Structure 1
Amino acid sequence: MWGVPVGVKDLIDVAGLPRRCGSSLRAEDPADQDADCVRLLREAGAIIIGKTVTTEFGYFKRGPTRNPANPALRGWWGIEFVSLKTRGPVALLG
């Protein structure tokens, strides 16, 4: 996976980034270390480029999704559609 950009769901710890779990109830404190799956991706050469939207705690209401290339495109379809339209991450984890 050398050089492959990866977006990680907001349910998974990424060192230096907050894990909000799609909720405003969670603190903004960044994670101290990567989750094992993220660590393995980094060891394989993947480039973690950020977090992706998730439903609240992976279960409740859908989180906001937007397409920076076309703000009129909003909805429940998730980051996969947005990423493809904006040439975002090649791989998504979560």
Structure 2
Amino acid sequence: MSEPTSKYSITMPRDVAAAARARSGPSGLSAYVSAAVARQIERDNLNELIQVAEAEHGPIADEEIQALRDQLHQARREQTERTQDGADAA
């Protein structure tokens, strides 16, 4: 079941609105804008958590961030390889 909705009027630059409308696809501009706002709220919440964690534990070193990014990229490569291997076997 979907959540109740309300209608809002927003103002945005015409070029941004045109680009959003062009990319919104069959779900429409409202769904596209709603998804974008939901992602921004998630990012804002994550940034707040990071600020709290850094205030308590100190900032994360750039080297640590890069090491974690490397691990993520490796995991994605391995997942892609497993997916391709599974498709090849089918």
Query: What's the TM-score bracket when you normalise by the shorter of the two chains?
Result: under 0.3
Structure number having the greater strand percentage? 1
Structure with larger Rg: 2
Normalised by the size of structure 1, how large is the TM-score? 0.21
**TM-score, normalization by structure 2:** 0.21
Q: Which has the higher contact order (CA 8 A, sep 6+)?
A: 1
Question: Which one has the bigger helix percentage?
Answer: 2
